[in-house]
Structure 1
Amino acid sequence: MSRLNPDILILIFDKLQYDKKSLYSCILVNREWCRIVVPILWKVTWYNDEKSERKLFNTILFCLPISSKQLLIDNGVKLQLSLMTGQPLFKYISFCTFPNNSIVYKMIEMVLVDDYSSLKQMKRDLLKQEIFKLFVSQCKNIKKLDWDNTQPLSLFFGASTCFSSLRDLYVDVDFVKSDALYGMAQICKGIEKLTLHNCIQDVPGLVILIDVQRNLKSLSIHYEEFKGIDKELSKAMRKKAKTITELYLSPVNCVSPLILTSFIKLEKGLFYNYSNNEYDKEIEEFQRYLKILEFPDLQYLEIEHLSCFKELSLLIEKSKGNILEINIYTKNVNAENAGLLIKTISRKCPKIEKLTTHLDLVGLKYLKELLINCNYLEYLRLDCLHPKAEKMGDEILDIIIKYSPFTLKEIHLSETWMFSVGGFERFFDSWKGRDPVDFEIIYNDYNNYSYITANHKNIIRKYVNEKVINFSNCF
């Protein structure tokens, strides 16, 4: 039998990367197969079951250099590697994905599980340092890093080789110091996706890290507690606005809304707000800026806890008609102009595939137009905005079944609309002949009433059994 080309074997084995049992069998065939399979096995490293994880962690600790092992021994850290001797057969660590803080924490707790000494925290810190040093020294050209610990990864030996090809970086600025961020700025200038958590003040190293990036496409800023970013960081963001196509702000007032006028290439905008500050002055300012913002290339828009349907309508009006997905969430039952938004979407978003929004009596007039004009719609979620609109249920179902495109395969409707049992049955009976639909009811914690009864659930169960409904959460 002729031998398979090694490149062909790599392609075959790579398809089995999540089937570890089969890969283990392949290791035993011959040396060539073993040499090819081991890197693939270690590429998807982290396990969920405790037994396999323990073996993996012990192998990783066995790969620590002699100097690290001696340092740990000198400080009372017992690695319990007595059953492992000699040198590792492969450079296992170089095949691994770079571990996040939670993985390293589990490794540390496995080692120190029976340590109750007053020096346990010191031992934890030392072991964490040596584990991260090991990965930085042996991993090459990693593409993604979650930097959520105090370790100065960019200052460790081997960092330039490890991080030079970094494309996706998450930084928790509560932990990472400015000098370490400055060090990362000297190494990697090709970051495309940057996620910042808790950057509540100007950090010079972070400002430089953003400034040196040549092709930053995605920027996400998150705060547990709102304080707002400072002047220099805002400037750095603004300089990169012409390359950024994806922007995620949580909360929306973490930056001055004036900065948003610079993001002329934005394709994906996610603006989240805290529900308890929906009426703050900064939020009102953000909503005023929505009236003048222009994102002509917008394809994806998500807004949470902002009652600004009119302003969003103006924003969508100025897009070029390439929007594929819109998701709007609010708990403000007194919000106005939800109908105006549906009207605008029906006329300006012919390519839209997924829509989540709220429906009021005015919006009901434009629902038919939306379904007729949006021929690619696959997913529709409509939540009840005003309690007085509760009797709209059957009319909504009738409009959907008469006018929705055949692409529509997933429907979510509010529990607070009053659907008759007959209306339910008529709707699903009319759906026969189309692809099975996913039909879900939106259960909101802040609603005190629901019109979904046991009889409604029996109808759902009937049509699930008849394969008219593919999936439902309603029984």
Structure 2
Amino acid sequence: MSCQLPADCLNEIFEYLEEDKPALYSCLLVNRLWCKISIRILWRNIWNFRCSIAYQHRPKVSLKILSTLIACLPDESKKFLNNNGVLIPTPTSEPPLFNYPAFCKFLSIYDIFQIVEVIGEKPYDILNIKTINYLVVNEVIKMFMNQISALKKLIYISTISINSNICFSGANLVDLSELCCSSDINPEFYYQLSQTCHNLHSLAIDFEPKPISNELKELISSQRNLKELSLSAYDGGDWTDILSSLMKHSNTLIKLYLNSDNDNLPLSFIASFSNLQEIEFSFFGGYHFEDFEKLQYVIFPKLQILDISYDCPKPEYVINFLKNNGKNLQECYFGEDSSVLNSIIAEFCPNLKKLFVIFDDDELDILITIFNNCQYLESIKIWCGINFLIEKEVLEIVAKHSSENFCELKLYNLSESELLPEDLKTFFVSWKNRPSKKSLSLIIIKDYNYNSLEINEENMKIINHYKNFGIIKFKTVDFEEEELKYV
């Protein structure tokens, strides 16, 4: 006698598989019910395929997604595209099994434009390819807007040319909780959004070197519970004009990300957000952002994460900031090589759980001090290679000096790996004999300019041996994939 779990039970189980795409794909083949539940989860955010598929396979996958979307278009849109010479093959002549766009909760106009670009490989005589792309993008967006019952996240940047008055007319954006946008989008879009959308939890704005519309300012002011804010200003962009609109959110905002290539942008406004739990500065250009001077003595009593993964303020400013805020920090990331900053982390940040700093090849003693003083440290990311620490020495220090809480080591090698099987075996034996008996996650961040340790087959034999016994967990990630966590 066969037994079928109720749909709601299957749904709860499959939700845990959201990040395990191979498992979800296998569920598609069991039966129609399993297929429907899996499809709903897979299509919730179809755009994240770029993070899980190798670069060389992405055009093929993009074309499959696009052809599926074309197959789901209403007859009116298909006829319109066909009359304008747009011929995109669909997977089958049969109608789609599901209304795939209705499952989407995340809509990225940028990614729609990216997958539509694959049709540029086809020869077209009637219209130029830019016009064809424009037509397809607009029809696909209209379909999504008509089919999605409750959109949760929208990515809409100005570099994408669409007719927003048509695409978003009648769209249900009341439940929108995340918006990524550009400052120079048609003000009418922001006006419509500000009338209905007041529950954004996360807002990301790319600032263009153009005047900021009052409609965008009104949208910012109209939010009731904004918690996460990301401001990006490159090539002359400036966030100064929206600062007064942000002040309403001084009590609710808990995460702030600032990205720019201009070190003259104001930062003193950050002092108004006393409930911040996470602050990230991503400044590029080789300059010290001077306005950080006004923050060096500000106390953020709830701050847990400080991320300055690229250019860093003057060390004396950061030191004063850590004196006031370091004790509460659980995660700290510094992407600029500074022995001065490295040496004070152990003193002012004793409760860290995650850390990324760059050590020079003569700073082994500082690494030891950090391990000895930061007894709650669970994870560290370290650069190795020429001018940096040596892999073998890092492993020896981790085995000898890390606390019983430590369980994750990330190594990024900026030269050819020199680790030998006996080095790994010695390290794994030492780790196995530790009192804590925690398995170690060893993550190798690969730079395609250099060979990392897994190239050596004997190394992998040693790794797999101790992996099978549960002593370690091992994986490799691309440098770009790892950097996305800090951008």
TM range (shorter): 0.7 to 0.9
Deviation at 1:108, TM superposition (A): 6.2
**Aligned position for 1:407:** 405
The 1:472/1:134 distance shift into structure 2, 3 A limit, reads closer
Among 229, 232, 240, the alignment partner of 1:222 is: 232
The one-letter code matched in structure 2 to 1:222 is S
Query: For residues 78 and 424 of structure 1, do their structure 2 counterparts lie closer, same or farther at Cα, with a shift above 3 Å needed?
Result: closer
The structure having more radius of gyration, on CA atoms, is: 1
What does residue 379 of structure 2 align with? 379
Determine whether 1:343 maps to 2:347.
yes
For residue 277 of structure 1, give the secondary structure of its aligned residue in structure 2: coil
Residue aligning to 1:69: 78
Structure 1 counterpart of 2:220, from 210, 214, 237: 210
Contact preservation (8 Å) 1:197, 1:222: yes
Report matched runs for 1:28-67 at 5 Å.
39=40, 42-43=43-44, 45=46, 57-67=66-76
Residue among 92, 102, 107 paired with 1:94: 102
Q: Which residue of 2 aligns with 1:263?
A: 273
Matching residue within 131, 140, 143 for 1:134: 143
Answer yes or no: is 1:309 the counterpart of 2:319. no
| CA shift in 2, pair 1:429/1:203, >3 Å | same
Kindly indicate whether the alpha-carbon contact (under 8 Å) linking 2:175 and 2:197 is maintained by their aligned counterparts in 1: yes
1:292 and 2:297 aligned: yes
Distance across 2 between alignment mates of 1:140 and 1:358? 47
Deviation at 1:191, TM superposition (A): 0.8
Measured in 1, the distance between the counterparts of 2:171 and 2:376 equals 47
Q: CA deviation at 1:463?
A: 6.5
Give the drift of 1:58: 3.9
Q: Return closer, same or farther for 1:300/1:67 CA change in 2, 3 Å cut-off.
A: same
Counterpart code for 2:357: T
Q: 1:173-197 deviations in whole A, cap 9, x for unaligned?
A: 46x3222122222221111111122
User: Structure 1 69/472 Cα, relative in aligned 2: closer, same or farther at 3 Å?
Assistant: closer
Displacement after TM superposition at 1:426 (Å)? 7.6
Please give the per-residue CA displacement for 1:127-157, whole angstroms capped at 9, x wherever unaligned.
2212211111111111111113233547646
CA distance in 2, matches of 1:36, 1:439: 34
Counterpart CA distance in 2 for 1:263 and 1:232 is: 18
Aligned length: 445
Structure-2 change in CA distance of 1:294 and 1:66 (3 Å): same
Corresponding residue to 1:23 among 1, 23, 28: 28
* Partner Cα separation in structure 2 for residue 11 and residue 414 of structure 1: 37
Secondary structure of the equivalent of 2:31? helix
Which stretches in structure 2 are left out of the alignment for 5+ residues?
477-487
Q: For the structure 1 residues 265 and 432, does the alpha-carbon distance in structure 2 shift closer, same or farther, using more than 3 Å as the test?
A: same
Q: One-letter code of the match for 1:327?
A: Y
TM-score in terms of structure 1 length: 0.74
Alpha-carbon spacing, 1:355–1:58, altered in 2? closer, same or farther (3 Å)? closer
Which of 179, 184, 192 is the equivalent residue of 2:201?
192
Identity %: 25
List aligned pairs for 1:4-23, cutoff 5 A.
5-11=6-12, 18=21, 19-23=24-28
- How does 1:136-151 map onto structure 2 within 5 Å? 136-148=145-157, 149-151=160-162
Computed over aligned residues only, the root mean square deviation of the Cα atoms, in angstroms, reads 4.8
Change (3 A) 1:152 1:219: farther
Question: Would the aligned equivalents of 2:381 and 2:409 in 1 still touch at CA under 8 Å?
Answer: yes
CA contact 2:200–2:225 (8 Å) conserved in 1? yes
Q: Give, in angstroms, the shift of residue 444 of structure 1.
A: 10
Q: Verify: 1:172 aligned to 2:172, yes or no.
A: no
CA contact (8 A) 2:301 2:325 kept: yes
Query: What is the DSSP-based 3-state SS (H/G/I as helix, E as strand, rest coil) of the residue aligned with 1:185?
Result: helix
Q: CA deviation at 1:344?
A: 1.4
Shift of 1:234: 2.0
